[in-house]
Structure 1
Amino acid sequence: MTSQPLIKSKQTEKTINGISTQVVCTEFSNYIFVVLTQYGKIGTLVSVTPDSKSNDLSNSMFSTKVLLGKDDALTHVCAKNLATFVAQEAGNRPVLLGLALKDCSIDSIKDMKDVIKCCKVW
């Protein structure tokens, strides 16, 4: 009998707009932890949580809260764009997101979402 690991985790690295970008996704029982870094460190920690537990996951509202690090509007916008689909695909579970980004352009965020999908553990 092979035992399953208690914590599922995947990681990958991709160059986005000429910048090496690493992603690590880890599934815990009550949340998903995603680290997205272009500096090689966790950076700003942001909690992205669903506001309601409705059955219609596509209409869920999400709130963001910076737990540690840079608390500005761009951080909240990036966090919502990067983590909302993860929370929805994971059954409306909260996401803890670590962001350390050099490039927060719209095109880069779209590419980063694709990289996160490659590390799907939920």
Structure 2
Amino acid sequence: MAAQPLIRTKQAEGVINGMSTQVVCTEFSNYIFVVLTQYGKIGSLISVTPDARSTDISSPMFTTKVLLGKDEPLTHVCAKNLVTFISQEAGNRPVLLGLALKDTNIEAIKAMKGMIKSCQVW
């Protein structure tokens, strides 16, 4: 019987709005690491964590923090839209997101979210 790998990883590549887009999802014991890029590099590194102070379990709150890269409002919005579902599906584990995007319109974000779902390791 083959041993299960300690760290599970899946990746995908596709074209979204004419731009090559890659995603890599890796599950660690205490968090999920996702890299979503259209530049071929990690880009900004954002921590997305569930807020323990949220009193309503049906709609948890999330805190985003830019660890590396430009700390712009659009970065926080994209991060929350792209990966909050991962934290919820993974038992409220934090998500570390590497984000390097050329195209951030809503249709592209929806397509990217679908790409991330196709690489589910959580």
TM-score range, shorter chain: over 0.9
Asked if the contact 1:57/1:91 (under 8 Å) is kept, the reply is no
% identity of equivalent residues: 75
What's the CA shift string for 1:12-43, capped at 9, x where partnerless? 00100000000000000000000000000000
For 1:27-106, list aligned pairs within 5 A: 27-52=27-52, 58-106=58-106
Counterpart residue type for residue 9 of structure 2: S
Cα distance between partner residues in 2 of 1:64 and 1:72: 11
**How many residues are aligned here?**
122
Distance 1:61-1:54 versus aligned 2 partners, 3 A rule: closer
Give the ranges of 4+ consecutive aligned residues of structure 1 lying more than 4 Å apart after TM superposition. 53-57
Equivalent in the alignment of 2:5: 5
Distance 1:29-1:107 versus aligned 2 partners, 3 A rule: same
| TM-score (norm. length: structure 2) | 0.95
Deviation at 1:59, TM superposition (A): 1.2
CA-based RMSD of the aligned residues comes to: 1.5
What's the CA shift string for 1:69-119, capped at 9, x where partnerless? 011000000000001001111111000000000000011000000000000
Equivalent in the alignment of 2:118: 118
